[in-house]
Structure 1
């Protein structure tokens, strides 16, 4: 029997009227040791519910191999929320968007060249079904109908922004029902005719997502669902950042004012995000509206709780607004997590990428340069190598549809960079005896939203000198998963900080605390702490530091490895006690 349900224009829980006051906290963007801290702060703000997406690629990173441990412990996160007295909304759609890599879809889907995503393509549905056969049974004991905290489950995500295949949506709905999901089902879409027509299902609660224009947004929802409860499933109270942009912020009082508009309308609300967290590793997504725009490592989102879990001005403004409509008692927050400045750390060892290839990668030969997915690779980098004939003078090197950023080397000397968002060819001369051409391509995150979702990585079409395609390639996939095999040498010359190469530093920690890795002077790359991938750094900004949660450190010696693509003007980094998210740009909330 349903515990949480729709009765007319209101929600009830165990027969009593309830307004859902929810905040999004993604377990997969927060280290498990901090889940309780973030959830307690959500509850202290006066909220009664936590919402989370479930990213398919986090739980099935390779086809048929499933992971539900560590940061992927979905059950543990939901159980913790329930222990703290919070309801839970789960959004396990095959697709989640969320500025997350490929919108949560696993990269291995692209090994099937004819697959059609997010529609009733039988091949795609078979992969979703196999995933749901493993995922959904884990949720059944956690449903409110079985005494658990889960009160609602989503059917797909903002589908009207992508397609209109009702057969597909119904397949997902039936897949949830047939596997035992008997709590309230819902869809969420933008408040437009097109989106609500394409993304909703009869007999499934429709909700809308927006960041402003409350009256207009709810009016549009009521055109399609007159008399049903009002629910903003994603209240965009902040925004995310791309590389090469400024850090987005939204005025706290403006965010609180729009929240009050929703409360005044009697609506239920889910803050997206309440606590953003971090795109650790290679998990950031990308957008492509007019050009490709990769998302940064930080997912601070200018949320009520910032990336490192501290309440912001927005937190207090929102709580003050809520107190006008509900008795939320006195504010009781957990003790703040300590921050520590560990100071300057010297980089002491180096391992050149080209000298390490056979230790961390297997060479593959092909007539044509192939994308990562065809080689079974999901993330990281890939190196393409061929021999050019000579002489050639003043020819242009074209990387046809390179995804996403390529460094080009001729006989080991870097010629330049070709980027997806600015794919200008490079001029080159090839000597009479010929030359070796190396192209190192970085996957900077698959597109997570829109019609260009099917986003292959690497060199996706071909390499040309002028109009002549070049054939016969060797390829080294570099997913950055075998770094323990690296053979380092002592860095004796501090002026030799150039890439692409790996750099190692060992530093001692006595008292463990949160800290921030400052990479001032370094160019672009990826940072690994004690084997954990902290994420990407890039002097293009806005982000200047990487958040390091204390639980990733250990007492005694700690190992930092940087994969640096270009170089640094200093053989040192710093661990500081305050973040730097770069230059700020205020968000104008017209969404």
Structure 2
């Protein structure tokens, strides 16, 4: 079988020097029906290797599960890579960052205050070892020396930017080797001397992450590691976007020039991202450096292959550069075609809370509102967090009865993570936004049924705020007095489409107060609505979210992700394999107000740029 090793100056394949021309794509961010197309398009750009992260929290949504079905089928994905004649690099973390929810770490693990994240702490290491052994049981048989495509495995991720526990890194190496991984192991850090020192150990081959000043940064990497191949294992050719900001783009010619400098220096490269894909469902993460910034559903990344799999100007520029150093295929991708344009009425079906009540019961907590689960009792006016409830993503409704006076009253929350939609006797009062540092609003009166719908908009994926709890954090007060008597309802977002089907079967009486569906009035949320989009054949679509407020969308039960009028993203990508000829069901959870029409556009709209 083939061998792949690290030599004095090069990667060696069966003893011969080779350069890796790799591109990053995340198999969980791509519909499985598109895996082959995306890998093949990367190959047509001139790449010979595909790199992918493994997202721990996707594979293990609870401690006793390890899922590999559908878009989580790592083995099937690696087989596609091999079928296309390409090598593979696997990066299983345990932490990955990747603008992914909680950096890929399971919230059920980070919610435990006794767990020491990303260090050699017994509780953390026990969970990490269980996870890594499950991943490596899939990866080990697919290593290059056993006839598979995998040539490198990365340990941890940009660890030097977080910690310097070398015993932790060595323990990860031990687990990896004990699990049968024989290919070279790598680390990655930004090429700054202190990060490189903190983030690696001699058992790992150090690589760099950067997108500019390639020659200078390769020199820094070489100074820290005098032997072995130089590799930029994350060549940043684009960037990610936040809600409420702009769509990031980078100059294609400038990126190509940096790639040229990398390759001219003899380095191997992994283009991050060659294809970004989509953070489907509720998987997008967030950043917080004083201001909380949730990331978009689109992970287009201004990559050479865009979110819909089409080559961009950067694709052709990079292909030209690569052709100076390695052969590129004669075949080229087909030009992009406009997507079908269609529209249909979007009709309300059932209120969100009525739908959620069909899937789970309200949970009553102690009378003073203190926590009684998870971290234990916290005192008067402190409702449980999402984490205390074991609800790791999405929405929780908080409900209590206020007994104050008739005049206006001030509701104050210590902290909201991340968006709290406040209703009094079912009528909307206002919204508290974490990114605005909102903590208080005025109620029209101090009595009535108070409902607070709190949305987790994505867990922080980078830095010291990893693993922080979601929900209402700290005491809730009305005119300075603690508010107790809380009940909570965790929203099972995976079950909402099924509830829509059930209500439609049962008829209008089951709608739980949703408005009439026939007059085309704007939707008033929180409400679940439905439309039927008719297609001649399965096709990629770009769902127009202009005119809608904030919410989630599903097509034929496939969770597309979040939309928000803040932008910059104005369309949601619908992968063709999730559609069908004939009627396609669109279900929308609208939290605010939306036009009662669903449309698809010919081209995507990811919003304004700095230019």
**Cα deviation code 1:56-114 (max 9, x no counterpart):** 01111111111111100100111111111101000011110000111111121134232
Following superposition, the deviation at residue 510 of structure 1 comes to 2.4
**Cα deviation code 1:403-425 (max 9, x no counterpart):** 10111112222111111111224
Q: Give the counterpart of 1:404 among 394, 418, 422.
A: 418
For structure 1, which segment, 332-341 or 357-366, has the greater mean C-alpha deviation from structure 2 after superposition? 332-341
Give the unaligned 5+ runs of structure 2.
371-382, 509-515
For structure 1, which segment, 56-65 or 291-300, has the greater mean C-alpha deviation from structure 2 after superposition? 56-65
**Cα deviation code 1:348-390 (max 9, x no counterpart):** 3421123334213321112332111221211111100111121
| 1:573 aligned onto 2:605 | no
Partner of 1:141: 141
**Cα deviation code 1:153-200 (max 9, x no counterpart):** 011000111111111111111000001000000000111122112111
Q: Give the counterpart of 1:384 among 394, 398, 404.
A: 398
Quote the Cα distance in structure 2 between the aligned partners of 1:236 and 1:356: 43
Following superposition, the deviation at residue 294 of structure 1 comes to 0.4
Following superposition, the deviation at residue 10 of structure 1 comes to 1.4
Question: How does 1:355-366 map onto structure 2 within 5 Å?
Answer: 355-366=354-365
Partner of 2:584: 558
Q: Which runs of 4+ in 1 moved over 4 A?
A: 334-339, 429-432
Quote the Cα distance in structure 1 between the aligned partners of 2:533 and 2:148: 44
Aligned partners of 2:239 and 2:302 also within 8 Å = yes
Partner of 2:524: 498
Following superposition, the deviation at residue 115 of structure 1 comes to 1.6
Q: Secondary structure at the match of 1:307?
A: coil
Question: How does 1:519-530 map onto structure 2 within 5 Å?
Answer: 519-530=545-556
Following superposition, the deviation at residue 272 of structure 1 comes to 0.3
| 1:533 aligned onto 2:559 | yes
| 1:474 aligned onto 2:487 | yes
Q: Secondary structure at the match of 1:81?
A: helix
Q: Give the counterpart of 1:451 among 442, 464, 470.
A: 464
Partner of 1:589: none
Q: Secondary structure at the match of 1:246?
A: coil
Aligned partners of 1:285 and 1:447 also within 8 Å = yes
Aligned partners of 1:24 and 1:52 also within 8 Å = yes
Partner of 1:202: 202
| 1:375 aligned onto 2:389 | yes
TM-score by length of 1: 0.95
For structure 1, which segment, 334-343 or 273-282, has the greater mean C-alpha deviation from structure 2 after superposition? 334-343
Partner of 1:27: 27
| 1:99 aligned onto 2:84 | no
Aligned partners of 2:44 and 2:333 also within 8 Å = no
Quote the Cα distance in structure 1 between the aligned partners of 2:158 and 2:517: 51
Q: CA RMSD in A?
A: 1.7
Partner of 1:414: 428
Quote the Cα distance in structure 1 between the aligned partners of 2:294 and 2:544: 21
Change (3 A) 1:326 1:110: closer
**Cα deviation code 1:243-281 (max 9, x no counterpart):** 001110001000000001101111111000000000000
Q: Secondary structure at the match of 2:274?
A: strand
Aligned residues: 583
Aligned partners of 2:415 and 2:439 also within 8 Å = no
Quote the Cα distance in structure 2 between the aligned partners of 1:189 and 1:212: 14
Following superposition, the deviation at residue 228 of structure 1 comes to 2.6
